[in-house]
Amino acid sequence: MEITVTEIRAAADGAEALLTLDIVSGEKSQRIRGSITAAMLSELGFGLRREAFAIDRETCERVLHFMKLTAAIKKGLSLLAFSRNTARTMKRKLVQKGFSDEIAREASAYLVGHGYIDEQSDAELAVENMAKRSLYGPNRIKSALYAKGFPEDVIRAALAETELDFEEICLARLRRLGIDPTDPETKKKLVSKLGYYGFTYEQIRGAIARYREEE
């Protein structure tokens, strides 16, 4: 098998390089074109050149891997233009787009490593939005963030960093429910409802006490 890089030229204003490979095996020949990032080109030890040169099969496999990885990264960037993603959800979406598990995982890691996906910042913003807009307690928020693909350590850190008063948020939810916490017959139902929205027993007890004080 003869493998030849017939051309390497700059693309995407120098951020990428477009490579052309000719692979000849007996009477069969194949031409492959694809782009890789400038960093990947440097890792291969190639420079921009128009003259052809031969490479071995192992190097060819690396080039093809980098082409697939670059394509996955670019697809990931296009997905991020429409919505935020965690590394886990990005990997799943890339697999759905036809990329292998390995390529999807590497592309997701690249997007995290280069700051395109900022799970901690996104988790902190989600905590604030769900608490203030949806009046959710920490347990409901934790479950929602996990379902969105956030890692447990990121969720814990986001909840630990927040300065939100969940007892106050619980009080706002209590008012929205319109259930009288001073009535013994409805109090149990109220506690169950507030627990459903993710508030702890301590937060519920504190919210009910503040409601009574205000009344």
Question: Using one digit for the tens of pLDDT, what is the confidence trace for 133-190?
Answer: 999 999 999 999 999 999 999 999 999 999 999 999 999 999 999 888 888 888 889 9
What pLDDT is attached to residue 185? 83
Of 27 and 66, the structure prediction assigns the larger pLDDT to 66
Do 96 and 195 share a domain, yes or no? no
Do 103 and 129 share a domain, yes or no? no
- Which domain-ending residue is among 113, 137, 152? 113
**Percentage of the chain lying above the pLDDT 70 cut:** 100
Q: Is 135:173 a contact under the CB 8 Å cutoff?
A: yes
Do 108 and 19 share a domain, yes or no? yes
Question: What pTM did the predictor assign?
Answer: 0.80
- Summarised one tens digit per residue, pLDDT across range 32-62 is 999 999 999 999 988 777 788 999 999 999 9
Do 14 and 76 share a domain, yes or no? yes
Do 94 and 127 share a domain, yes or no? no
Do 106 and 9 share a domain, yes or no? yes
* CATH number of the CATH domain containing 30: 1.10.10.10
Task: Give residues with Cβ within 8 angstroms of 212, minimum separation 6.
Answer: 181, 182
Structurally, the chain folds into a number of domains equal to 3
Task: Give residues with Cβ within 8 angstroms of 7, minimum separation 6.
Answer: 18, 19, 20, 49, 50, 52
Q: Is 19:36 a contact under the CB 8 Å cutoff?
A: yes
What pLDDT is attached to residue 18? 94
Do 96 and 23 share a domain, yes or no? yes
Which three-class secondary structure state does DSSP give residue 200? coil
Do 49 and 128 share a domain, yes or no? no
| Boundaries of domain holding 143 | 119-161
What pLDDT is attached to residue 31? 93
Do 157 and 182 share a domain, yes or no? no
